[in-house]
C-alpha cells in the first residue's frame, strides 16, 4: 500500500497495462445512502404508452420483393399498420435491428402500434441478412425496395407518398441517414436500386 491507505497500489505486478507502482482506484469502505434531493425521480406507476384509442387495419406478410442472393430466392415481406382515418397518412418504415444477422419484422410491435395510432402508416420490413448470404449493401437495397413498393401502392394503404420517414433499431438504425443521400454519393454506399 502507498502512504494513503485509501488507494490500492498495484506494485509489484502491472495490472491491465498500468505501470508497476501506479495508483489506480480508491476502495470504498462504506456506501452512502442515495440522495435524490436534486434529482427528478420518475414515477413508474403513472401513465404509460396507451394503445387501443385508434382503430387500425393490419396487413401481415405483404410480399414487397423477391430477391436472389447466391442462387437462393428470398421473399421479402412486411407487416403494415394503417390507421382507419379518411385522410392520406405519412409513412414510417421500421427497420428492425439484429446485427445484420436477424431481421425479425415482428419486433417492437407496441411502439409500432403506438406510432400508427398517432396517424402514421407503419411498415415493419424483413430484409436479407448475412444468414441469407447478403451484404449490408443488399440489406440497404431491400429497405429502398420497400419504400418504392409502398409508394407504388400508396392508394391501397392511404399513404401520402411525399412524406416518408425511416426508423430503425441498431445497427439498422444507421440506414435511415443513407436513404436521403444525393445520387452522386450513393454509389459508394449502396447497391443499385
Domain of residue 119, CATH code = 3.40.50.1820
Q: Is residue 166 part of a domain?
A: yes
Identify whether residues 3 and 76 lie together within a single domain.
no
Instruction: Answer yes or no: are the C-beta atoms of 76 and 126 closer than 8 Å.
Output: yes
Identify whether residues 61 and 134 lie together within a single domain.
yes
Identify whether residues 12 and 87 lie together within a single domain.
no
Q: Is residue 113 part of a domain?
A: yes
Cα–Cα distance measured from residue 192 to residue 181, given in angstroms and rounded to the nearest whole number: 13
Most confident of 16-20, 36-40, 120-124: 120-124
Q: Is residue 137 part of a domain?
A: yes
Cα–Cα distance measured from residue 15 to residue 10, given in angstroms and rounded to the nearest whole number: 6
Return the minimum-mean-pLDDT range out of 32-46, 51-65, 122-136, 173-187. 173-187
Greater model confidence, 40 or 190: 40
Query: How distant is the alpha carbon of residue 144 from its chain centre?
Result: 16
Q: How many CA atoms lie within 13 A of 23 on its CB side?
A: 9
Q: Which three cell numbers stand for residue 17?
A: 497495462
User: What's the domain range around 94?
Assistant: 56-186
Please give the tally of structural domains in the chain.
2
Identify whether residues 160 and 71 lie together within a single domain.
yes
Identify whether residues 71 and 114 lie together within a single domain.
yes
Q: The whole model's pTM is what?
A: 0.66
Cα–Cα distance measured from residue 80 to residue 122, given in angstroms and rounded to the nearest whole number: 6
Identify whether residues 100 and 15 lie together within a single domain.
no
Confidence of residue 1 (pLDDT cuts 50, 70, 90): very low
Closest C-alpha among 34, 105, 101 to residue 76: 105
Amino acid at each position: 500500500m502507498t502512504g494513503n491507505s485509501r488507494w490500492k497500489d498495484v506494485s509489484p505486478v502491472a495490472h491491465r497495462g498500468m505501470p508497476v507502482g501506479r495508483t489506480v482506484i480508491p476502495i470504498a469502505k462504506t456506501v452512502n445512502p442515495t440522495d435524490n434531493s436534486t434529482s427528478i425521480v420518475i414515477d413508474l406507476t403513472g401513465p404509460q404508452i396507451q394503445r387501443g384509442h385508434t382503430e387500425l387495419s393490419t396487413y401481415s406478410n405483404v410480399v414487397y420483393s423477391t430477391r436472389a442472393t447466391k442462387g437462393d430466392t428470398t421473399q421479402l415481406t412486411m407487416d403494415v399498420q394503417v390507421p382507419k382515418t379518411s385522410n392520406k397518412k405519412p409513412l414510417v418504415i421500421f427497420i428492425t435491428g439484429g446485427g445484420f444477422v436477424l431481421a425479425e419484422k415482428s419486433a417492437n410491435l407496441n411502439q409500432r402500434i403506438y406510432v400508427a395510432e398517432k396517424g402514421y402508416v407503419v411498415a415493419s420490413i424483413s430484409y436479407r441478412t448475412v444468414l441469407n448470404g447478403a451484404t449490408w449493401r443488399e440489406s440497404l437495397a431491400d429497405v429502398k425496395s420497400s419504400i418504392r413498393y409502398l409508394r407504388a401502392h400508396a392508394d391501397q394503404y392511404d399513404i401520402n407518398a411525399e412524406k416518408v420517414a425511416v426508423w430503425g433499431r441498431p445497427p439498422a438504425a444507421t440506414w435511415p441517414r443513407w436513404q436521403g443521400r444525393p445520387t452522386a454519393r450513393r454509389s459508394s454506399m449502396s447497391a443499385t436500386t
